[in-house]
């Protein structure tokens, strides 16, 4: 249960910072209707699934072979695997956002330290120039030049924070664009994984868990009947997880609609444009290799006319 609480906290950290309202509803559905039910109810329902799977034969190994044929993968293990894989895009988004915020903090500290160093250098220069140019042999000299230099240095020190603020605002905008683009990408991947697991669950189990399962698999000598424990309860649980997966797919589509398909297309076009610009810059930087001309050339000094 401790592992599930860690996963819940990580998902909540991602949702509280960058997710939409639909994403928060989706987190509630995932945490309450998936993680808690699978962790608490699923263990009690599927605790004795293999031990209570009994076939009407005494042939050694027949029960195990028929159970493997009836359930290639256990319901509870399939759903645990589904929760982990579906949450992977969100965890990748958390890692990306934390990395970007750490980079932003480093840039802020670097700009602050640079501005402080510049101001200290200007103050030291002003003090040294004042000491040099104010009194020479008891006579005051170059006071106008000193005042002009002090004013120019003060203007430069005032202009530098403005440029640093512009850089920080541009970096913030770029970081927000990158985070929003990555968030859209992880929603698309998450929805694709949801649909894939939903289709896989249908082909593996269907919508019903039969109470009696007929098996003719080796090493069973003949067709045997095997009895599944708690078939009705497992059927209800199976349909419930189908419904939860369908709700998650619909919420993902609603979130994509809320984010705007135009924004998604613009984000994809922005990535393509950046790749194109990087490719063009690389082509410009690469030296143009000119092939030597091996053909015959005519000149005034040539013997061949």
pLDDT digits (tens, 9 = 90+) for 57-80: 888 888 888 888 888 888 888 988
Q: Cα(127)–Cα(143) distance, rounded to whole angstroms?
A: 13
Cα separations in angstroms, 183 against 23, 90, 251, 294: 11, 8, 15, 56
With respect to residue 258, please indicate whether it lies within any of the assigned structural domains: yes
pLDDT higher than threshold 50 for residue 298? no
List the domain range (segments joined by +) for residue 244.
Answer: 2-266
pLDDT tens across 107-136, in order? Answer: 555 555 555 555 565 555 655 555 555 444
3 state DSSP class of 143:
helix
3 state DSSP class of 227:
strand
The pLDDT value given to residue 150: 45
With respect to residue 62, please indicate whether it lies within any of the assigned structural domains: yes
With respect to residue 209, please indicate whether it lies within any of the assigned structural domains: yes
Q: Cα(63)–Cα(289) distance, rounded to whole angstroms?
A: 72
With respect to residue 246, please indicate whether it lies within any of the assigned structural domains: yes
Tell me the CB-side half-sphere exposure of residue 26, using CA atoms within 13 A. Answer: 29
The pLDDT value given to residue 140: 46
Q: Cα(33)–Cα(42) distance, rounded to whole angstroms?
A: 11
The pLDDT value given to residue 214: 86
Chain centroid offset of residue 213 CA: 43
How many structural domains comprise the chain?
1
Encode burial over 224-253: b for 16+ CB neighbours within 10 A, e otherwise: bebebbbeeebbebbeebbebbebbbebbe
pLDDT higher than threshold 50 for residue 12? yes
Q: Cα(4)–Cα(26) distance, rounded to whole angstroms?
A: 17
Mean pLDDT in the chain? Answer: 69
Confidence of residue 300 (pLDDT cuts 50, 70, 90): very low
With respect to residue 277, please indicate whether it lies within any of the assigned structural domains: no
CATH assignment of the domain containing 188: 1.20.1440.80
pLDDT tens across 36-57, in order? Answer: 888 777 777 787 777 788 888 8
Strand partners, 225: 214
With respect to residue 293, please indicate whether it lies within any of the assigned structural domains: no
The pLDDT value given to residue 16: 55
Residue 128's Cβ-count burial label (10 Å; 0-12, 13-18, 19+) is exposed
With respect to residue 179, please indicate whether it lies within any of the assigned structural domains: yes
3 state DSSP class of 142:
coil
Confidence of residue 217 (pLDDT cuts 50, 70, 90): confident
Tell me if the bond preceding 19 is cis, omega within 30° of 0.
Answer: no
pLDDT higher than threshold 90 for residue 210? no
268 membership: H or E segment, kind and range: helix 261-285
pLDDT higher than threshold 90 for residue 196? yes
Q: Which of 138, 156, 140 is nearest to 148 (CA)?
A: 156
- The answer to whether 35 touches 7, Cβ cutoff 8 Å, is yes
With respect to residue 216, please indicate whether it lies within any of the assigned structural domains: yes
The residue count for the chain: 305
Q: Cα(99)–Cα(79) distance, rounded to whole angstroms?
A: 30
Q: Which of 125, 124, 113, 126 is nearest to 161 (CA)?
A: 113
Strand partners, 143: none
Place of tokens 């030296």: 287
Q: Which pairing describes strands 135-136 and 54-55: parallel, antiparallel, or unpaired?
A: unpaired
Q: What is the DSSP letter of 303?
A: S
pLDDT higher than threshold 50 for residue 137? no
């Amino acid at each position: 249960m401790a592992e599930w609480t860690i996963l819940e906290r990580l998902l909540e950290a991602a949702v509280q910072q960058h997710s939409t309202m639909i994403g928060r509803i989706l987190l509630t559905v995932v945490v309450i209707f998936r993680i808690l039910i699978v962790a608490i109810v699923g263990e009690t329902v599927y605790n004795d699934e293999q031990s209570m799977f009994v076939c009407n034969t005494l042939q050694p190994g027949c029960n195990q072979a028929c159970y493997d044929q009836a359930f290639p993968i256990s319901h509870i293990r399939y759903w645990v695997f589904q929760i982990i894989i579906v949450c992977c895009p969100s965890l990748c988004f958390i890692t990306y956002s934390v990395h970007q915020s750490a980079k932003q903090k480093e840039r802020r500290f670097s700009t602050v330290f640079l501005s402080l160093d510049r101001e200290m250098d200007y103050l030291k220069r002003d003090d040294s120039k004042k000491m040099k140019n104010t009194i020479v042999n008891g006579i005051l000299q170059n006071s106008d030049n000193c005042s002009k230099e002090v004013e120019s240095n003060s203007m430069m020190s005032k202009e530098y924070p403005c440029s640093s603020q512009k850089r920080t605002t541009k970096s913030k905008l770029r970081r927000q664009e990158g985070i929003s683009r990555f968030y859209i990408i992880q929603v698309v991947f998450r929805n694709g994984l949801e649909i894939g697991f939903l289709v896989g669950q249908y082909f593996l189990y269907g919508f019903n868990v039969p109470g009696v399962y007929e098996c003719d698999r080796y090493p069973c000598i003949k067709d045997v009947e095997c009895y599944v424990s708690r078939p009705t309860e497992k059927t209800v649980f199976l349909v419930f997880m189908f419904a939860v997966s369908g709700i998650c797919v619909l919420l993902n589509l609603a979130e994509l609609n809320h984010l705007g398909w135009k924004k998604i297309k613009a984000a994809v076009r922005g990535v393509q444009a950046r790749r194109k610009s990087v490719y063009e810059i690389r082509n410009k930087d690469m030296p143009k290799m000119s092939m030597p001309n091996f053909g015959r050339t005519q000149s005034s000094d040539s013997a061949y006319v």
